[in-house]
Amino acid sequence: MVSYRRPSVRLLIALALPSALALASCATRISVAPSIDPAAGLPRESSVYFRLDRALLRETAEAVLSPESLKAARPFLLRTERLTVSVLLPQEGTEQAGDGSGGELPRGADFFGIAEGSYPAGAASFRLRLSRDWRKEGTTLVRRDGTLRIAFAGKNLLVAGTTDLGPLLEGLGSPGPNPLPEEIRRDWEAPGALWVPRPGDVWERARGEGPLSVPARGLLLTLIPNETGGGYSGSWIFVFDSEREARVYSPICRLFHLAFIRAALGSGTEAASALDRTVWSAEGSRLRASGFPVSVPMVLKAASAFVPQAAQSSYH
């Protein structure tokens, strides 16, 4: 396991986005399989997967980045159509918590991101100014402190990660099985989506304790723009191994949704309204909760309550 302290997530973003554009012209582009879902190239052992379209990526950046970092990231945000990310939490018994300041990856955790867009060469002067901070290793550009790696694939993919990108790039060229189950891939194509396989295990590893968790094969949160009035409509999809399990664990799913809403909105009238608007339905081995209001700040606030050591609401 890497022994040095991971930098904060906000620092990684601030380093990656402007640097990627400036370095594009001196990078070797890797070929990719046609019409590939970027998620198919991500590690199958990842703990969390999420994707954001252009609008949600911009909203998230505005919520988590400082004004200075946001300004540096604007060229990337303007040219990116969609971002797909996975996070690998450390294995049980090897994790080391961050310093509690927020925005820091737990030691031993790694992330990989695949951005889809148009990334032209940056200004030569900017590229030369950054050259002291980066070195080229084969087809990958690596920060000299080892904290970040960048590569370019196909005509429109930018790949970044905190560790070796070789397996990911190989997966993009010759993809194996998609890490997301077939039955939720249509929902995964929503403008915003968060997939957590084995949520009970992930939650316990992230927190180091056993809080309320859903004994599901996975859970998916989607965000879809409302047709009127702005904002987003949220849906949970709880995926079980059988229809019987979905029926038996339905009460726990409802408690989980209640905990999410209260973590994001408190226990007042706004939370009560969100719960009233939630519609529950059974779909074989899946249980769906849909129609509740959701936003980027809500998700970040709930995440910071559920997984405090990896709090996502204070990246400033």
* pLDDT tens-digit readout, 20-47: 555 555 555 667 776 778 888 899 889 9
> Do 75 and 190 belong together in one domain?
no
Read off the pLDDT of residues 236-265 as tens digits, 9 standing for 90 and up. Answer: 999 999 999 999 999 999 999 999 999 999
pLDDT confidence band for 130 (50 / 70 / 90): low
Q: What is the largest CA-CA distance in the chain?
A: 62
Give whole-number Cα distances, 107 to 7, 59, 88, 100, in Å: 9, 27, 11, 12
Q: Is residue 71 part of a domain?
A: yes
Q: Are residues 256 and 209 in the same domain?
A: yes
Q: pLDDT band at residue 91, thresholds of 50, 70 and 90?
A: low
Residue of 287, 291, 292 lying closest to 215 (CA atoms): 287
Structural domain containing residue 14: 9-173
Residues 6+ apart with CB under 8 A from 234: 221, 222, 223, 224, 290, 291, 292, 293, 294
The arithmetic mean of pLDDT across residues 70-88, rounded, is 89
Indicate whether 131 pLDDT > 90: no
* 136, 153, 173 - which closes a domain: 173
The mean pLDDT of 136-147, rounded to a whole number, is 81
Mean of the pLDDT values across residues 85-110?
Answer: 61
In this structure, the answer to whether residues 157 and 223 fall within a common structural domain is no
What is the pTM (predicted TM-score) of this model?
0.83
Look at residues 109, 143, 173 and tell me which one is the last residue of a structural domain: 173
Last residue of one domain, picked from the residues 173, 199, 215: 173
How many domains does the chain fold into?
2
Which pair of structure tokens corresponds to residue 154?
């196909």
pLDDT of 101 reads: 40
Q: Would 293 be classed as within a structural domain? A: yes
Whether 231 maps to a domain, the answer reads yes
121 vs 273, more confident? 273
Q: Kindly state whether residues 191 and 144 are assigned to the same domain.
A: no
| Whether residues 23 and 163 fall in one domain | yes
pLDDT of residue 210: 46
Same domain, 168 and 186: no
Q: Is the pLDDT of residue 182 over 50?
A: yes
Question: Does residue 2 form part of some domain?
Answer: no
Do 111 and 213 belong together in one domain? no
Residue 178 CA to its chain's centroid (Å)? 16
Most confident of 19-23, 55-59, 72-76: 55-59
Asked whether residue 186 falls in the same domain as residue 169, the answer is no
Residues 155 and 81 in one domain: yes
- 41 SS3 class: helix
pLDDT band (50, 70, 90) for residue 19: low
Polymer length of the chain: 316
Same domain as 203, residue 66: no
Percent share of the chain, pLDDT over 90? 41
**Hey, what are 62's tokens?**
């505005």
pLDDT at 95: 46
Question: What mean pLDDT is predicted for residues 209-231?
Answer: 83
C-beta of residue 224 within 8 angstroms of C-beta of residue 232: yes
Of the listed ranges 103-117, 124-138, 281-295, the least confidently predicted one is 124-138
- Do both 282 and 198 map to the same domain? yes
- 286/238 Cα distance (integer angstroms): 6
- Tell whether 155 and 224 lie within a shared domain: no
- pLDDT-derived band at 7 (thresholds 50, 70, 90) equals very low
Supply the pLDDT for residue 138. Answer: 80
